[in-house]
Amino acid sequence: MPDIYLFSVCRWLEDQELSLADCPAVLRHSQDIAARQPVKDALEEEGLAGDCDQSR
């Protein structure tokens, strides 16, 4: 459960135009979660796919 909660918080940071560049481990974790097919499927189903940039 903590993994997806942290992923959600990282996505919210994108809405605030905050960068995870100073936290490379957190950024990498978020990117790893975003790359999981079930996460991609869930975001697509909810209409949330592609609305954030996990590279920052």
Tens of pLDDT, residues 16-44: 888 888 999 999 999 999 999 999 999 99
53 belongs to a structural domain: no
Residue 35 CA, distance from chain mean position: 9
Q: How many domains would you assign to the chain?
A: 1
Residue 53 CA, distance from chain mean position: 8
50 belongs to a structural domain: no
12 belongs to a structural domain: yes
Q: Indicate the pLDDT class of residue 4, thresholds 50, 70 and 90.
A: confident
- Reply yes or no on whether the pLDDT at 53 is more than 60: no
- For the chain, how long is the longest CA-to-CA vector? 31
55 belongs to a structural domain: no
21 belongs to a structural domain: yes
15 belongs to a structural domain: yes
Contact assessment for residue 20 and residue 13, using Cβ atoms and an 8 Å cutoff: yes
- Domain extent at residue 22: 2-45
Q: Which residue has the tokens 């975001």?
A: 43
1 against 14, higher pLDDT: 14
- Reply yes or no on whether the pLDDT at 55 is more than 70: no
Contact assessment for residue 23 and residue 47, using Cβ atoms and an 8 Å cutoff: no
- Reply yes or no on whether the pLDDT at 56 is more than 60: no
30 belongs to a structural domain: yes
39 belongs to a structural domain: yes
**Residue 54 backbone dihedrals phi, psi, to 5 degrees:** -80, 5
